[in-house]
Structure 1
Amino acid sequence: MQYYALAGAERPALVARDEDDAFDLTSSNPKVETFSDLARAADITNQSVDDVARGLLDEADSFPADDLSERARRPVVPDEVWAAGVTYHISEQAREAESGMPDVYLDVYEGERPEIFFKATASRTVGPNEAVGIRGDSSWDVPEPELGVVLYRGDIVGYTVGNDVSSRSIEGENPLYLPQAKVYDRCCSIGPCITSAADIGDAQNLGMTMTIERDGEVLYEESASTAEMVKSCEELVSYYARHNTVPETAVLLTGTALVPSDDFTLQEGDDVRIEVDDIGVLENTVTVV
């Protein structure tokens, strides 16, 4: 199943989509208002999120599936967003090219321990149809389309689409500036929904496409596959959770395989569209923060 968090005039709602049908789970049980509520119930009852959702469907109001994209908001409000870097060969090459210390990225790409870093708090994370940010003190900014692993108490419960917006000029100046290149207002977007782990199946075989438009003109459009990842989602989650008190809900972004050319930088008003198979389309405009 897929799970959408919707904003509305009357109340927020968690909507489950099962193929062509959609149901307002919150109408069945007002205590299930968010995906975190659903995951918590699944954890308490030792069920999957899909099993809990199916138990609510008989009493749930139907919802027009065509309205989901327009009304979708962040599918989960994560306590923390973390990210993995240098998990694809093209990402390793790009970060070598931007940096005066290229060997550190090659060492990570070829090493056993992945790069895992803190990306965002809930307050710095936006959803579909909202504006992602680029720093006002950065001269080279890019979107990074990524598969996002949705975690409940460290366990994989689903997957979403993520955009790890980054300042390549700041990180390229010195790798120790990574937190400033990555963590700032509106630095991350996730959405449009969460597809349950059961429905994804093999997360290492998903197609991904990114399109960037400016004033109606397509500046970038390329595709890749998560099959190109040098480490599995499970490996990345394992390192994220080691010796780390993980929060109730978290999203771990898994790295990017789509990198615009070195002469490209995001500008105010650009539109970034990221699509991942079996999940959907995450679309955001760009603003300067």
Structure 2
Amino acid sequence: MRYQQRDRGTESHLVAETDGTYYDLTAAKPELEAFRDLARAASVADVPIDDLAGDVIDDAPTLDGNSAPDERGLPAVPEEVWAAGVTYEISEQARQAESDTPDMYVDVYDAERPEVFLKATPSRTVGPGEDVGVRADSHWNVPEPELGVVLYRGDVIGYTVGNDVSSRDIEGENPLYLPQAKVYDRCCAIGPCIVSTGDIPDPHDLTMSMSITRDGEEVYADETTTAEMVRTCEELAEYYTRHNAVPELAVLLTGTSIVPDDDFDLAEGDVVSITVEGIGTLTNGVRTV
């Protein structure tokens, strides 16, 4: 199933979609106000989230599938968003090109231990239709389209689409500046929904694409596949949770292999659309922060 949050009047409701029909789970079970509530209840009952949602669907009213863009919010509010770097060969090449210390990225790409870092907190994370941010003190900002792994108490329960917006010039100047290049206001977007693991049989074989428009014209487009990822989702999640007290709900972005040309810089007013097969399209505007 696919799960999303929709604003209904002054309230936000958890909605489940299956076979093209949208069910208002919150209307049927007020205790299920958000995806976290569903994940928590499924954990207590020791059943998959889809099984629990399936029990509620029989009493849930249906909704129009063509919701207005401003009705959709973050599909979940993770306490932490983490990210993995240099998980695709092209990402390794891009990080080498931007850096004054390129050899370190080769070492990470080939190493046993992956690069895993804190990306965003709830206040820095935006949902579908909201603007992501680019730093005013950076002159080389890019979106990074990524498959996001949704974890409940460290266990993988679903997938989403993520945008790990990054300041390449800041990180390239010195790798120790990575937190400033990665973590700032509106630095991360996730959405438009969460798809359960039952509906994504192989997360390592999904088509992923990104397009960027400026003043109504497409200025960049490319696509790839998660089959090119050198790490597995399970491996990245294992390193994220290793010796780490993880929160109840988290999202782990798994890296990108779509990297715009070195002369491309995101600008205020751009629109970034990222599509992952089986999940959907995450669209965000861009603003300077």
Task: Tell me which interval the TM-score lies in, with the shorter structure as reference length.
Answer: over 0.9
Contact 1:147 1:161 in 2 (8 A): yes
Sequence identity, in percent?
60
Aligned letter for 1:148?
G
Unaligned ranges ≥5, structure 1:
none
Contact 1:268 1:287 in 2 (8 A): yes
**What is the distance in 1 between the residues matched to 2:172 and 2:251?**
25
**What is the distance in 1 between the residues matched to 2:112 and 2:7?**
42
**What is the distance in 1 between the residues matched to 2:110 and 2:225?**
19
**What is the distance in 1 between the residues matched to 2:125 and 2:251?**
11
Q: Does 1:79 align with 2:85?
A: no
Partner of 1:89: 89
User: How much does 1:10 deviate?
Assistant: 3.4
Partner of 1:57: 57
Contact 1:4 1:68 in 2 (8 A): no
* Number of residue pairs aligned between Structure 1 and Structure 2: 289
CA deviation map 1:56-98 (0-9, x unaligned)? 0111111111217552211000000000000000000000000
**What is the distance in 2 between the residues matched to 1:10 and 1:81?**
27
Q: Does 1:286 align with 2:270?
A: no
Partner of 2:48: 48
Q: CA RMSD in A?
A: 0.8
Alignment of 1:103-252 (within 5 A): 103-252=103-252
Match of 1:189, SS? strand
User: How much does 1:217 deviate?
Assistant: 1.2
Cα 1:78–1:282 shift into 2, 3 Å:
same
Match of 1:177, SS? helix
**What is the distance in 1 between the residues matched to 2:63 and 2:242?**
41
Unaligned ranges ≥5, structure 2:
none
**What is the distance in 1 between the residues matched to 2:255 and 2:146?**
6
Contact 1:69 1:192 in 2 (8 A): no
**What is the distance in 2 between the residues matched to 1:110 and 1:252?**
20
- State the TM-score, normalized to the length of structure 2: 0.99
- State the TM-score, normalized to the length of structure 1: 0.99
Q: Does 1:27 align with 2:47?
A: no
Partner of 2:3: 3
Contact 1:32 1:38 in 2 (8 A): yes
Cα 1:230–1:112 shift into 2, 3 Å:
same
**What is the distance in 2 between the residues matched to 1:161 and 1:142?**
16
**What is the distance in 2 between the residues matched to 1:241 and 1:280?**
27
Partner of 1:272: 272
